[in-house]
Amino acid sequence: MAKRSKQVLKVHDGGKGEAAARWITEEHKLPFSQGAPKIFRTRNSGENWSFSMWVKEEKKYLTQALHTRIKSEALEKAEDLYIETRANIKEGRKATKISLAKLVDRYLVYVENRVTKSLITKGRYDTIKSRMKAVQNYLPKNKSLSSLSQDDFLGYTGFRQQSGVTLYVITQERSEIKSLFRWAVQNGYINPYQIPIFEELRRGIRSPRRDYFLPEEYQKCFVALRRLVRNTQDPYDKMVWSIFRDLFLIGANSGIRLGEMKRLRWRDIRRMYRIEGEDQHPDGVVELFLPADITKTRVERTVVATAVPYFKRLRKLYDNPPPDQLIFAEPKDLSRTIAKTNLYRLWEVMLKEAGLGDRQPRLTFYSLRHFYATLRILKGVPIYDLSLTMGCSVNHIETHYSHIKTSQVAARITRFRSDDLEVRTSIPDFG
């Protein structure tokens, strides 16, 4: 028993023996054997009592101020706290306190482990990490989870709006915050009644429209890329520009995300073939298989794209590469893809060369995907078919691209006869 007493004293002042005895001025043990619970006063407590017990399941001491100078009240509070703590442990909840900052750190470790297991992408992890910073900016980092109330987040939406964040983004953040605290409940850090609630939002909050290339802007970039490839003299730079040009064209004609394209290998090309018919692409189509481990959604899918000439040109550029080689491999190291920072640099140079450097809002690699979706919708491709090849839900496409259908809807509802009105969409030859 004396040994346990020294352990308790060590927690409070980091010392042992007489030094600790001088720091604690008075202590009384509770009539419980497990955890050696007790109340005590220190020289700096202003005669207020505190509670302490050893939690063997967590190998930590639980200490808590009791906020009373009366011994009988302190003993009563300590007994209630002891019983509550043991009940929490039996129900699988944590007994010792941690701060909000530590909870976020542990949650991010959990999320990062999901990346290593290929359950989510690295990009998804980065998004969650960014949203966790918003949480820590809203509440004090040292805020104890035990003091967390479900009403603490009622002002979160207004707080984020003051920083110019849109309601659409805020709704995404709120969803991630709930995921954080549901995970905290599952792991015993908080009680279910501590999961935060938010103020009610008006219905019908729509996601922002995706910014996509206009056909003339796409044509300008196509011409700019052709010029950049032709005028570049350095052999290495010329090859990089050639690869980038075909990456641009494949992205616009397949709808594949940049992160997915970077991980494509030559073995993922299943076949190239022609489809008979006057309205079919003269160069044929390429069928690509995207394994689950390279897709954003971690679901495998097949993509059929009108990008045959670009893949053939890349194959020739790499001098008939082996099946396991990356399609967009770094010329100086074929085992890795072209660095993301380099791709972004080339993108900015291309926009400037095309006279789109100052365009607002900015065009990004994702604009190629939206350009692809826009043209297919205007061509009348069913949304379900588009969702399969793009790797997203029908609801996602309806939410983000519903405005594109306006002209088609207008044409249908104002048509008197089948030959009164035709919706003609002029799509230039982007090959």
CATH of the domain at 252: 3.90.15
What does the alpha-carbon distance between residue 55 and residue 62 come to, in Å, rounded to a whole number?
7
> What single-letter amino acid sits at 325?
Q
Sorted by sequence, the CB contacts under 8 Å of residue 81 that are 6+ apart come out as 51, 64, 66
Q: Taking residues 277-283, what's their average pLDDT?
A: 74
In a 3-state reduction of DSSP, which class is residue 326? strand
Note whether 114 and 84 are same-domain residues. Answer: no
Among 270-279, 402-411, 419-428, the least confident range: 419-428
Which domain covers residue 40, as residue numbers?
A: 2-90
Is the predicted pLDDT of residue 16 greater than 50, yes or no?
no
Note whether 130 and 187 are same-domain residues. Answer: yes
Give the pLDDT confidence of 26-77 residue by residue, as tens digits. 889 998 888 889 998 887 777 889 888 888 877 777 787 888 999 999 999 8
Q: Evaluate whether 46 touches 60 at the Cβ level (below 8 Å).
A: no
Using 50, 70 and 90 to split pLDDT, how confident is the model at 5? very low
Residue 382 is assigned to a structural domain of this protein:
no
State CA 402 to chain mean position distance.
24
In a 3-state reduction of DSSP, which class is residue 38? strand
Give the pLDDT confidence of 341-370 residue by residue, as tens digits. 999 999 999 999 999 998 888 899 999 999
Tell me which of 340, 364, 388 is where a domain ends: 364
Residue 420 is assigned to a structural domain of this protein:
no
Note whether 41 and 109 are same-domain residues. Answer: no
Whole-number percent of the chain with pLDDT over 90: 36
> What single-letter amino acid sits at 255?
G
Give the pLDDT confidence of 156-211 residue by residue, as tens digits. 999 998 988 888 888 889 999 999 999 988 887 777 888 888 988 766 555 555 57
Note whether 73 and 126 are same-domain residues. Answer: no
Residue 380 is assigned to a structural domain of this protein:
no
Exposed, middle or buried, 191 (CB in 10 Å: 0-12/13-18/19+)? middle
Note whether 79 and 138 are same-domain residues. Answer: no
Note whether 244 and 347 are same-domain residues. Answer: yes
Tell me: cis bond preceding 361? Omega within 30 of 0 counts. yes
Q: Evaluate whether 356 touches 221 at the Cβ level (below 8 Å).
A: yes
Q: What are the phi and psi torsion angles at 358 (to 5°)?
A: -100, 10
Nearest CA to 242 among 329, 305, 320, 325? 329
CA atoms within 13 A on the CB side of 34: 10
Residue 201 is assigned to a structural domain of this protein:
no
Residue with tokens 């990490």: 129
Question: Model pTM?
Answer: 0.59
Note whether 231 and 266 are same-domain residues. Answer: yes
In a 3-state reduction of DSSP, which class is residue 29? strand
pLDDT of residue 10: 32
Instruction: Could you list the beta-strand ranges (E) of 328-370.
Output: 329-330, 333-337
- Total count of domains within the chain: 3
Residue 378 is assigned to a structural domain of this protein:
no
Note whether 38 and 165 are same-domain residues. Answer: no
Tell me which of 364, 388, 416 is where a domain ends: 364
Using 50, 70 and 90 to split pLDDT, how confident is the model at 402? low
Residue 370 is assigned to a structural domain of this protein:
no
The continuous run of DSSP H or E covering 386 comes out as: helix 383-390
Note whether 44 and 78 are same-domain residues. Answer: yes
Tell me which of 331, 364, 397 is where a domain ends: 364
Give the pLDDT confidence of 210-238 residue by residue, as tens digits. 577 888 999 999 999 999 999 999 999 99
Q: Taking residues 403-419, what's their average pLDDT?
A: 53
pLDDT of residue 94: 64
Note whether 340 and 259 are same-domain residues. Answer: yes
Note whether 142 and 176 are same-domain residues. Answer: yes
Residue 133 is assigned to a structural domain of this protein:
yes
What does the alpha-carbon distance between residue 180 and residue 189 come to, in Å, rounded to a whole number?
11
Instruction: Could you list the beta-strand ranges (E) of 214-372.
Output: 269-273, 285-290, 301-305, 329-330, 333-337
Residue 110 is assigned to a structural domain of this protein:
yes
Note whether 153 and 224 are same-domain residues. Answer: no
List the CATH number of the domain containing 177. Answer: 1.10.150.130
